[in-house]
Each structure stands twice: as C-alpha cells, then as structure tokens.
Amino acid sequence: MQKPGSRVTIRDVAARAGVSVATVSKVINQRYGVAEDTMARVQAVISELGYEASLVAQSLRNHRSNVIGILVADLEPFSAELLKGAGDAIRGTGFELVVYSAGGRTGDMVGWEKRYLSRLSGTLVDGAVLVTPTVVDLQSNAPVVAVDPHTGSSAFPTVDADNLRGARLATEHLLDLGHRRIAMLAGRADLQSAILRQQGYREALAAAGVPFLESLVRVGGYDPGLSALAARELLTDPRRPTAVFAANDVTAIATIEVALHLGLRVPEDLSVVGFDNIPESALCVPPLTTVNQPIRTMGERAVDMLIRLIHKQPVERTHLTLATELVVRGSTAPV
C-alpha cells in the first residue's frame, strides 16, 4: 500500500501491477501497444485501488484539461439558471465543468475575472465563460466567451439577449392595456443590459406619443432591497403610476410586495412587468408578466461557442443576441 493519507498515484498502481508508470499511463489513455493481459492486470489494480488520474497533473502535462470554467461574480437566480444551461450544453461533449465564484464581492474585488482567468487558463481550464464581467480589456490566451457583458462592444465573443426589443415589448404591452403613467424601475447604470432596457422603455413611450417623465424613473440597481425603497417612493406619490416596468424579475417581485403592503391590489390597482423570466417569476402570486430571456439557452450557447473556439472550429456569429419575448401572466391588467 501507499503511504496512508496521501492519494493513490500512478506510481502506486504501477508498483502494485509490477509495470512501469508509462504502461499504466498507456492503459489509462487507451493507447495501443499494451498486451492484453498486461492491460487487464493494470485495470484490475486501478479499480482495486480506486485510482483516478489527477486532473492537475494531467492538465499541467497536456495543456489540455477538458475542463471548462464558468466565472461568476455571485450566485443568484440569473447565474444559477445560466449554470443549468451550461450543464446542459456540457453533457456528451467530454468536457467537465467548474464554476468559480467571486462570492458576491464584486464591489471590493474589481478584476476578479482577470485574476482567475490568469491563474486557470492554459492550465486548469481550456476556456472560460465570463458571466457579466466588469472588465473588458483582458487579453487571454485561452478562448473566452462573455455573457451579458458590461459594455456594448466587447473584444471577445459574447452572448446576450435582445434587451432593447424586450423592453419595448414590455412597455408596449402596458401601453396597449391603456396605461399612460408607466414608471420604470431601472437597473445598474454600468450594465449594458440595463441601459438597453431603459432605452427600449423610452422608445416605446415615444412611439406611442406618451411623454417621458424623469419623475417616473427610479434606479433599483437590479437589487431587491434598493428596489423596494424606490418602489415605495413611486407608489406613495399622490400621482402614482398605474404600471411599473421593472428592469428585472427580482425587482419586479419586490415591487409587487411593496404594492401589497401599501394595500394596492396587483394587477387591479397596479400592473407590474418584469424582465428575465426567472423561475421565481412564474411561482410568484400573481404570476409575473415578464420578458422572457432564454437564460438557460444563453448558458448553453455560450458553452457551445466556447467549445467550438477551443476546437478551433469556425463560429458563425461571435456576438450572439438571443430573442426575447413577452410572457403575459397575471400581474398586468387594463388600466
């Protein structure tokens, strides 16, 4: 047996099988040039000892790990949903998946993507998906795909959703229902997606000839807490809006909560539209009318694209924008 407390290495297997480490390696990697019975003997020892090759040693040696990294700032509904899509895409590809989370410390820790990418790419991961990265100028040796990046024109390939159109659809839906005082609970100013969602809102208002009122826009920063405060301001105003378009579902749900606390009925007294279509939006009561962003598909596409890049296969479009669509549920009604 090997020294207790240390892992089983290829040498332990070699010693026990009475062969060289090179032979064991050949068996593991199914190389030709190994006798039938040697093969069988080594296989037996491998399962006896429960040996698995060290991912680290393999990738150091091979410069290829068959592992894809997903780098996220935090684990919230959006990124969790995206990860499910990434998991879907990875199946059957021979790649494995690791997630690195900056642990929500995006504030104090700007450039976490850069650091992680440097430490991992080329060795542990063959490529990485960056989710809502804050930095854009990182030059990486390994392929990188960004999902929902912070600026519009990213150097590397990106996957996002049609935020502009989605926001327009949401606002038009409210207009169609007869609403004219439509408030917007905006997202984070540093995010491309938030800017486009607000632009779509304005465009839809303009197209309908409804004046844009600065006083009906509040910043919720994609954050439920902030948004609850902002929503309270909006809804306690004597000239309160009859509808709210929230920049994402989490803040839309927070808005509904506030409305109910204030004694307003949703959708009778207030219509609310969200954005994202996270699972929580459907479970919510009333179910949230929202803009579907195919989050899971975005995760899938990002991983698909990354794998093509890793294999140096051509990628049809390097900036992929997926369609958004309105999902009408129970949180909106005619004015």
Among DNA, a second copy, none, the one that 325 touches (CB under a kind-dependent 5 to 8 A) is none
What letter does residue 215 receive in the DSSP assignment?
Answer: G
- Considering only residues 36 to 75 of the shown chain, the ones binding a second copy according to CB under 8 A are 50-57, 59-60, 74-75
**Contact (CB, 8 A) for 113 and 71:** yes
7 part of the interface to a second copy, by CB under 8 A: yes
Nearer to DNA, 24 or 97 (CB): 24
Residues 6 or more apart whose Cβ sits within 8 Å of residue 271: 174, 177, 179, 242, 243, 244, 289, 331, 332, 333, 335
Spell out, one character per residue from 181 to 210, where the chain touches DNA: x when CB under 7 A holds, - when not: ------------------------------
83 part of the interface to a second copy, by CB under 8 A: yes
Q: Which residues pair with 182 in a beta bridge?
A: 243
123 part of the interface to DNA, by CB under 7 A: yes
Report the phi/psi class of residue 276: left, alpha or beta, with left for phi > 0 and alpha for psi in -120 to 50: left
Nearer to DNA, 62 or 318 (CB): 62
Which residue of 25, 66, 101, 140 would you call a contact of DNA, by CB under 7 A?
A: 25
Spell out, one character per residue from 189 to 208, where the chain touches a second copy: x when CB under 8 A holds, - when not: --------------------
- Considering only residues 270 to 289 of the shown chain, the ones binding DNA according to CB under 7 A are none
User: What span, in angstroms and rounded, lies between the C-alpha atoms of 98 and 106?
Assistant: 19
Find, among 146, 161, 159, 131, the residue nearest to 248 by Cα.
161
23 part of the interface to DNA, by CB under 7 A: yes
Q: How many residues bind a second copy (CB under 8 A)?
A: 58
- From residue 218, give the alpha-carbon distance in Å to each of 221, 229, 242, 244: 9, 10, 15, 10
Judge residue 112's burial from the number of C-beta atoms within 10 Å of its C-beta, 0-12 exposed, 13-18 middle, 19 or more buried: buried
Grouping H, G, I as helix, E, B as strand and the rest as coil, residue 298 is helix
Among a second copy, DNA, none, the one that 228 touches (CB under a kind-dependent 5 to 8 A) is none
Query: Least distance from C-beta 233 to DNA, angstroms?
Result: 52
Q: Which amino acid is at 270?
A: L
32 part of the interface to DNA, by CB under 7 A: yes
Nearer to a second copy, 224 or 241 (CB): 224
Residues 6 or more apart whose Cβ sits within 8 Å of residue 280: 77, 249, 250, 253
Q: How far from chain centre, in Å, is Cα 249? A: 15
- The stretch among 20-28, 109-117, 139-147, 199-207 that binds DNA (CB under 7 A) is 20-28
Helix axes 163-176, 192-207, angle to 10 degrees: 40
Among a second copy, DNA, none, the one that 316 touches (CB under a kind-dependent 5 to 8 A) is none
Among DNA, a second copy, none, the one that 309 touches (CB under a kind-dependent 5 to 8 A) is none
Spell out, one character per residue from 80 to 119, where the chain touches DNA: x when CB under 7 A holds, - when not: ----------------------------------------
- From residue 222, give the alpha-carbon distance in Å to each of 34, 47, 72: 59, 50, 16
Grouping H, G, I as helix, E, B as strand and the rest as coil, residue 94 is coil
Which residue of 29, 215, 236, 318 would you call a contact of DNA, by CB under 7 A?
A: 29
Chain positions contacting a second copy, by CB under 8 A:
5-8, 50-57, 59-60, 74-77, 80, 83-84, 87-88, 90-91, 96-101, 103-105, 114-115, 118-124, 139, 141-142, 224, 253-254, 256-257, 260, 279-280, 283-286
Chain positions contacting DNA, by CB under 7 A:
6-7, 9-11, 18-26, 28-29, 31-36, 38-39, 53-54, 57-58, 60-63, 122-123
